[in-house]
Amino acid sequence: MAETPRDLSAIGGEILNASRNELYMNLPYMDAALCALRFVPGSEVTLSLATDGEQLYYDGAWLSDRYLRSRTAVNRSYLHVILHCMLRHLGKKRGKVPQLWDLACDAAVESILDELDYPCLAEGTVPMKQKFWGECRRDMKVLTAEGIYRRLLRLGLSEYELAQLQRRFLADDHGLWDRQEEGQDQNQRQDQKWKDLAEKTQTGLETVLSDKGTGGEAVLEQVRVAVRDDVDYRAFLRRFATPREVLAVDGDAFDYIFYTYGLQLYGNMPLVEPPETKEEKRIEDFVIAVDTSMSTSGQLVRRFLACTYAILRSTGTFTRKVNIRILQCDDRIRSDVRIQDLEELRDYMDHFALIGGSATDFRPVFQHVDQLIRQGAFTSLRGLIYFTDGMGIYPQKRPPYDVAFVLLQEPPLSVKMPPWAIRLVLEEPDLERAARQAAEAMEDEIDWEELPRS
């Protein structure tokens, strides 16, 4: 006797419960995320599973047939949907090319599933997937949806090539991602909910399972990217400023009542004069170190310097006369250039050439800066910014100034930075946004279109 649609819906719910329980037994660090969606049978679902971030919709007939063919395929599809939510792919779709963003998200999630070494998720080797991931890893160390999406934009694949990739990576229906019926507040609450769940998963992985070699590292690498907040590079640079007096009217310390009272009483004689100086945080001594190993691109370094120049010029953080040292180093110091004003920095940036190409050792930079301090080259050095990919030999001892390692993408988990290091992941979109904001804040100081592109 054939099953009725109602029976198939009930059976589909039981299949999802069984799949969730099996995944939980193998991935206990994802317990909260695995239980975060309510199962709802839905006839509008064109594939086995779909989600709007709150419910998990399924077609009972399709899911039953899929389960009979392959139980692991159902497990992969279930976890595929959960990872989409946990990596916050749903809320990031707005403003992107839908076809490319959907493919990028599927490829990123499938790369995680492929690295999870559990029998309940085993799919076997798919050559086209492996080839695509291998090509992506040439450009990025962690296969994120954002990185894959930017690569797809650059490639400009034909419709046939896109269709081939979609056929290999597609596992769920993304049609509900575009729904904005609940309004912006609801979307923000949902995004925060999944960010909190991702942070719980991250904590579990870091404290329990990150060293078990079962593929948990793949989840952790992407979760670290997903929970990272947007970077304000302009605000970040201001932390290296020191208080000093400058010639300017301090409106906060000036009492306008006595000033206007004197004008009223004596005509043109105020009782108090405005202060001629005020205290501001300015950067005078500063070190920019550039990793010139084989893994560093000269165009990216020029873009980083251009962005830094634009920000410092626009915020008024620097004094007229500065003391900047720009160091290039791989396994030894290759170049040490002293900059005394921002025009010299602009000239250096325009004629920048990357020197080096060996392995990375961060220690020579710190030894060199220590020597400069002993020689009296700095009067109030607050910090050093090191532009690098993060992979190299770090000094053991903390220096007497703040050190920030600026990375253009999240480094692999194998990279262990010292606890005293400030780590800032500044991806290319963050860099571009910071430079645009700085350019808008200035009056014809920077032509954005002339800034070098990677």
Please give the Cα distance from 431 to 297 (Å, whole number).
Answer: 15
Banded pLDDT at 441 (limits 50, 70, 90): low
Statement: residue 284 has pLDDT above 90: no
Helix (H), strand (E) at residue 76: helix 71-86
How confident is the model over 145-162, as pLDDT tens digits? 888 998 898 888 888 989
Cβ-based neighbours of 103, under 8 Å, separated by 6 or more: 148, 152, 162, 165, 166, 169
Beta strands at 49-51 and 55-58: parallel, antiparallel or unpaired: antiparallel
Place of tokens 């939510």: 85
The answer to whether the CB of 294 falls within 8 A of the CB of 390 is no
Angle between helices 159-169 and 98-115 (to 10 degrees): 40
Place of tokens 């009930």: 10
**Any idea what DSSP says for residue 175?**
G
How confident is the model over 166-188, as pLDDT tens digits? 888 988 888 888 765 556 677 77
Longest dimension (CA), the chain: 105
pLDDT value of position 272:
57
Q: Specify the higher pLDDT residue, 362 or 236.
A: 362
User: Could you tell me the two tokens for 200?
Assistant: 């719980």
The answer to whether the CB of 316 falls within 8 A of the CB of 244 is no
CA-closest candidate to residue 224, choices 192, 191, 195: 195
CA-closest candidate to residue 162, choices 106, 124, 81, 82: 106
How confident is the model over 200-237, as pLDDT tens digits? 887 777 765 545 555 566 677 777 766 665 566 777 77
User: Could you tell me the two tokens for 362?
Assistant: 């961060």
User: Could you tell me the two tokens for 56?
Assistant: 């998990």
Q: How buried is residue 419: exposed, middle or buried, by Cβ count under 10 Å (0-12/13-18/19+)?
A: exposed
* Average pLDDT of the segment spanning 389-394: 85
Q: Which domains are present in the chain? A: 5-226 (no CATH), 233-244+282-450 (3.40.50.410)
Please state the three-class secondary structure of 282-308 as a single string: EEEEEEEEEECCCCCCHHHHHHHHHHH
pLDDT value of position 453:
46
Please give the Cα distance from 154 to 286 (Å, whole number).
Answer: 36
Helix (H), strand (E) at residue 330: none
